Amino acid sequence: MYVRLAPHRHYFLTMHDIEPHFNWRHLYVAAQDPASPFFRRRYSEFFFTNKIYNYLIHPQWDEFGSETLYLKILYCNYQKHFCVIELIGEWNDVLYNDVMYLYRNVVEVLIAQGIKFFILIGENVLNFHSDTDDYYQEWFDNVEDGWIVCLNFRDHVVRDFVDARLDYYMAFGGKFDNFNWRGMNPNQLFDAINSLIMKRLNP
* Chain CA centroid to CA 17, Å: 18
Asked if 13 and 3 count as a contact pair (C-beta separation under 8 A), the reply is yes
Confidence (pLDDT) at 100? 98
Confidence (pLDDT) at 3? 42
Half-sphere exposure of 159 (CA within 13 A, CB side): 5
Asked if 152 and 179 count as a contact pair (C-beta separation under 8 A), the reply is yes
- The span from the CA of 171 to the CA of 161, in Å, is 10
Sign of the torsion formed by the C-alpha atoms of 145, 102, 35 and 18: negative
Confidence (pLDDT) at 129? 97
Residues 6+ apart with CB under 8 A from 1: 14, 15, 52, 53, 55
Asked if 87 and 74 count as a contact pair (C-beta separation under 8 A), the reply is no
How far CA 19 is from CA of 15, 16, 57, 69, 123, in Å, comes to: 9, 8, 8, 14, 12
The helix or strand, by DSSP H or E, that contains position 129, with its residue range, turns out to be: strand 117-129
DSSP strand E in 78-116: where? Answer: 82-92
- The span from the CA of 154 to the CA of 159, in Å, is 9
Confidence (pLDDT) at 10? 36
3-state secondary structure of 38: coil
Sign of the torsion formed by the C-alpha atoms of 68, 71, 40 and 43: positive
Confidence (pLDDT) at 47? 73
Identify the segments of the chain with pLDDT beneath 50: 1-12
Quick check: pTM over 0.85? Answer: yes
Asked if 88 and 98 count as a contact pair (C-beta separation under 8 A), the reply is no
Could you tell me the fold of the domain covering 16-201? Transcription Regulator spoIIAA (3.30.750)
Confidence (pLDDT) at 99? 98
User: Mind giving me the DSSP string for 4-26?
Assistant: E--TTS-SEEEGGG-PPP-TTTT
